[in-house]
Structure 1
Amino acid sequence: MPVSMFKLSVPVFIRGLNVLATLLDKAESHAAAKKIPLDDLFNARLAPDMLPLSGQIQRVSDTSKNAIGRLTEVPAPSFPDEEKTFSELRERIAKTIAFLETVKPSDLEKSDTKDVPIAFGKLKFTFTGDDYLLKFALPNFFFHVATTHDILRNQGVAVGKTDYLGPYG
């Protein structure tokens, strides 16, 4: 039996977003224990030309909701990138999850063959829906989840592989 586009996207995105929420909890606990200003973590980045922690979380949100918007007739909500606190990042994560929870398997039927045009910087592509999800949206999503994890680890937050993978079951 083939795996559905729904199963490959919505539950995966929700799981990753929940992992981010848990990472934020650990970051806040770390900051409190070490008496580090939360802004130091909020604005931390791995390299000067990379987005900070806040930007990574914004991209995870955008990638997941916009992937569904591109693959379905369900309009993705637009969230301005104006978060300034961990609480606001958590709210964005929650709003993204709430949107994803409205998507039904039937919304993604036949989305595997839909043409999905993408402009990424100067590059322009047109993918089939399945190639878009598997070769662009999911790798981009996980890049930003992993980068969030890596920024926190680089800042001394006690997170490891099991925190990145999240709970099973």
Structure 2
Amino acid sequence: MNLFDISIPHMSRTVGQVPVWLDKAQAHADQRKFDVNVLLTARLAPDQWHFTRQIQAVVFGPLRLANVLRGQAPPDLLELEPTVAAVRACVAETREKLDRLRSEDFAGAEARVIPLPFLPGKGLQAPDFVQQFALPNFYFHAVTAYSILRHNGVDVGKSDFLAPLAIRDL
């Protein structure tokens, strides 16, 4: 299994759940008669990013990882307008980009050293970068975004985070 196989498909699966969260947020706002976009600026703590910024990290994470593992410059982080329509469009565009990636595009990625932008002059071997930074950071932001909705009364549950499971008969 290469670095693509242990990261990008799993991250894409979680990115694909964001529209489910947004559907439930919209239903909650409709039921309570408030503008759903209010939830997009909600945060769990004053020093944490708001929902929209958390989603920016969720969609940027796998795109950045895919680029650096292939020896390309990371994509620019775009500011995301705090509207459901903008979030949905960004998520859909990200999924399309991730769906075009193939395992063979990542041949040789294990040998790369990935620079750490927050520690100039330092980096991690690509396997360590994926396992110690990229995946934990991605799931931190995904869980935080999900938790912001949950904290604000949106009826999201564990299955909304996990996505459908590939269950088989024993």
TM over 0.5, shorter chain: yes
> Does 2:128 match 1:131?
yes
Task: Name the SS of the counterpart of 1:116 in structure 2.
Answer: strand
Q: Deviations over 1:120-151 (max 9, x none)?
A: 2x576311111111110000100011001100
Q: CA RMSD in A?
A: 1.7
Aligned equivalent of 1:167: 164
Matches within 5 A, 1:1-169: 3-73=1-71, 77-78=75-76, 80-120=78-118, 125-169=122-166
Report the Cα distance in structure 2 between the residues aligned to 1:125 and 1:35, rounded to whole angstroms.
Answer: 50
Report the Cα distance in structure 2 between the residues aligned to 1:97 and 1:23, rounded to whole angstroms.
Answer: 15
Aligned residues: 166
Report the Cα offset of residue 13 of structure 1.
1.4
Structure 1 unmatched ranges of 5 or more:
none
Structure 2 unmatched ranges of 5 or more:
none
Amino acid at match of 2:145: T
Q: Does structure 1 retain, via aligned residues, the 8 Å contact 2:53–2:80?
A: no
Moved over 2 A (4+): 73-79, 122-125
Q: Deviations over 1:89-126 (max 9, x none)?
A: 01111111111122111111121221101122x57631
Q: Does structure 2 retain, via aligned residues, the 8 Å contact 1:73–1:107?
A: no
Structure 1 residues 32, 118: closer, same or farther in 2, change over 3 A?
same
What TM-score do the two structures reach when normalised by structure 2? 0.90
Report the Cα offset of residue 75 of structure 1.
5.6
Report the Cα offset of residue 78 of structure 1.
3.4
Structure 1 residues 31, 124: closer, same or farther in 2, change over 3 A?
farther
Task: Name the SS of the counterpart of 1:119 in structure 2.
Answer: coil
Report the Cα distance in structure 2 between the residues aligned to 1:82 and 1:93, rounded to whole angstroms.
Answer: 11
